[in-house]
Amino acid sequence: MAANSRFDLEGRVVIVTGGGKGIGKVYAQQFAKAGARVVAADIDGMAAQAVAEAIRGDGGAAIGLTTDVSNPESSHAMSEAARDTFGGIDVLINNASLMSVLPRRSWLEIPEEEWDRVMAVNLRGLFLCCRAVFPVMKERGYGKIVNISSSRVWEGNPNRLHYTTSKAGVIGFTRALAREVGEHGITVNAVTPGLTMSDTQVASSSNNYLATRLEGRAISRPQVPDDLVGAVMFLSSAASDFMTGQTINVDGGKAMH
């Protein structure tokens, strides 16, 4: 196998949850540019369809789906649509999560129902989406699952305790699932992004907060969604076939993991 072919994503079927907005939208666009066939799945179905339409308009292959990852029927329908449209599923990017809509506040002020909703989307959603695609990947004897965690787990950032807790759970989930599905040729890895200047993050953050989050980075500039694409694509390609259960930190060198 030539070195460059290990990174080839041409024709791969890639599901991106949360693919209608923010960083997920960028993942969907960049995978399509790399030749992958993309399923943009988002709770905001119109946003997901707009992403898919734009990809098709540029000559790529994509569909947009209304998907609630915390709902088993919806997650299963996502998997079925990907298989029916493109003939299989090679990669699942578990990107959907509740974060930017969460107020920053003391853990004593977090409503119990908000805690439960964060866990339902950020952890149960992960679980349900993996179970939905597993039969298709198992049948083919190959698959890539990339779970998006957060660099908050290395730093212990306060004021969104439920979010940080859920993203720490993503790492434990990644390690345990890797051992359960490795025999089927499926790898499961995670990425921990630093604070990233996506459209949704910028809209929910003050300039002062964003400025403070740059402090301590070895690379002292704002992180943008494109900074994450390389790591996610690497974990989605044949170049990482012997890596599983691992977590790659991409935060400009703030947390040295």
- Residues catalogued as catalytic: 163
Q: Which two tokens stand for residue 257?
A: 């993991």
**Sheet of 37-42, strands arranged across:** 61-66, 37-42, 13-17, 91-94, 143-148, 186-193, 247-250
* Number of neighbours of residue 112 by Cβ within 10 angstroms: 8
Enter the DSSP assignment of 203. Answer: H
Q: Which two tokens stand for residue 139?
A: 């049948």
- Give the burial string for 23-62 (b: 16+ CB within 10 Å, else e): bbbbbbbbbbebebbbbbbbbebebbbbbbebbeeeebbb
Q: Which two tokens stand for residue 177?
A: 């699932």
Whether 90 contacts 144, CB under 8 Å: yes
